[in-house]
Amino acid sequence: MVRKSILVFLLPSLMLLSVFVIYPTLYTVWLSFFDEEGKFVGLNNYFKVLSSRETVNLRRFPFKSPPWGTLIHNAVWIAVHLPLSLLLGLLFAVVLRNIKGASIVRGMIFLGMVMPMVVGGWMIRFMFDKDMGVVNALLRLLGIKWLANKTWTAWPEYSLIATILGGVWIWTGFSMVIYMAALSAIPREYYEAADIDGASALQKFFHITLPLLKPATSVIVVMSVLYELKIFDIVFVATRGGPGASSNVLALQMYDYAFRALKFNEAAAIAVLLTLLTLGPAIYIARSAVR
């Protein structure tokens, strides 16, 4: 009787899950193995996507400016965005830990996380504008006029790095909050014992703070990689993947294939590839939650 009652309560959720998650997922996988005429082509769509210069352009990477292909662009996102957002989040969490009035600064840093990503994309366009951009104004103050007189998002050489740096601004607040929570959980007795032993501030940081922040760092790394692999909204709004696909990413390529070129089968193949790429971090999160 109890089992039947549980099933009654679970049934609406299971129905919604089946209609909006399970069926679309299975249909996407099925669609990726067929061509536009409905003929089974096996892995041909995957080979077609991966061999396309839109996905991997080794003729330009790494010695020429973008476009390098969406898969390489996502890899560049991880290589640049992850360490910058991680280190900046740690820096702000540690520096602003015991400063009066730091809550205002922390609120300003966290602003990027609470605003809609569409607004974030527009902000990135304005940040790197040659006339109104705050980044360009700072470059002028530093005397780097050759770079300050360019709208970054309009140049193939700079559009990718502009979106990545804008993403760092948006995501650093997440890293900072996770590190702040982890820092508050470290017992003060450790630092008091280190003071008695005559440890310096750097020694306390590297031998107490940093090792005890390892679980928080793991969470930030995994969540950041997931964010960087499926990044779409701010790139779509800030640059539309341009100019000349120089800032395009896998999720935006999937969107273009499906809703502009109407290549649903190849778009499904990209969706499956994205799912496989994010599966590792997702499994890690699930296993960590169980522990």
Task: Render pLDDT for 59-95 as a digit per residue (tens, 0 to 9).
Answer: 888 888 888 999 999 999 999 999 999 999 999 888 8
Q: How many CB atoms lie within 10 A of CB 147?
A: 15
Number of domains the chain is built from:
1
Give yes or no for residue 288 having a pLDDT over 70.
no
Note the pLDDT tens digit of each residue in 231-276.
Answer: 999 999 999 988 888 999 999 999 999 999 889 999 999 999 998 8
Residue 188 lies in a domain: yes
Residue 25 lies in a domain: no
Quote the CA–CA distance of 19 and 14 in Å, as a whole number.
Answer: 9
Contact 35, 44 (CB under 8 A): yes
Q: What percent of the chain has pLDDT over 70?
A: 96
Residues forming a β-bridge with 40: 34
Number of H helices, E strands in the chain: 16, 0
Provide the domain limits for residue 229. 32-290
* Tokens 């003060």, located at residue: 188
Give yes or no for residue 98 having a pLDDT over 80.
no
Contact 265, 210 (CB under 8 A): no
Instruction: CATH number of the domain at 282, please.
Output: 1.10.3720.10
The tokens describing 114, both together, are: 């609470």
Quote the CA–CA distance of 77 and 266 in Å, as a whole number.
Answer: 23
The tokens describing 50, both together, are: 């991966």
Quote the CA–CA distance of 284 and 282 in Å, as a whole number.
Answer: 5
Contacts of residue 247, Cβ cutoff 8 Å, sequence gap at least 6: 66, 73, 153, 159, 160, 162, 163, 235, 238, 239, 241
The tokens describing 166, both together, are: 């804008």
* Tokens 């539309």, located at residue: 240
Q: What is the arithmetic mean of pLDDT over 90-118?
A: 81
Residue 223 lies in a domain: yes
pLDDT the model gives residue 73: 95
The tokens describing 133, both together, are: 């951009």
Residue 5 lies in a domain: no
Residue 280 lies in a domain: yes
This prediction has a pTM of 0.88
Residue 57 lies in a domain: yes
Contact 41, 34 (CB under 8 A): yes
Q: Is 198 left (phi over 0), alpha (psi -120 to 50) or beta?
A: left
Residue 2 lies in a domain: no
Give yes or no for residue 282 having a pLDDT over 90.
no
Note the pLDDT tens digit of each residue in 113-159.
Answer: 888 888 888 889 889 988 888 888 888 888 888 888 888 888 989 99
Nearest to 35 by CA among 26, 48, 23, 52: 48
- Strand, coil or helix: 41: coil
DSSP string, 215-233: HHHHHHHHHHHHHHHS--H
Contact 278, 229 (CB under 8 A): yes
Strand segments, DSSP code E, in the chain are none
Please indicate whether residue 27 or residue 110 has the higher confidence score (pLDDT): 27
